[in-house]
Amino acid sequence: MKSLFQRKIFCRICGCSYKRRVERGKIKYCCSYSELGKANHKRVVIEESFLINCIERRFNKKLSYDEIRGVVEKIEIEDKLLFTIYLNGQEPIIYGRNHIVY
């Protein structure tokens, strides 16, 4: 099975894609450029379950793997508490330091 967010998560700072990692039994994503030690920004790690929760809260229901893959266009991450989830044909989910726009 493909990674849920394969080719959908990008670093807003350097533009590189995020890679899937399993750490302590949890699926996490981090900037591929910072993984190589080449980025001039800090390593931002975000848990898959956290992103799924944000998307499901938007739709107010549990979504299947295929439904999430189909609805998410891309995700741009600047920081763990500052990212945007772009949805196909809908307004994006904007997660800011002081607010969340569903």
The DSSP bridge pattern shows strands 26-31 and 18-23 to be antiparallel
pLDDT at 33: 74
pTM over 0.85: yes
Distances (CA, A) of 31 to 59, 71, 84: 27, 22, 15
pLDDT in tens, the chain (102 residues): 578 999 999 999 888 899 999 999 999 999 887 555 565 778 889 999 999 999 999 999 999 999 999 999 999 999 888 999 999 999 999 999 888 887
Confidence at residue 36, expressed as pLDDT on a 0 to 100 scale: 54
Model pLDDT, residue 4 = 94
Distance CA 11, CA 21 (A): 16
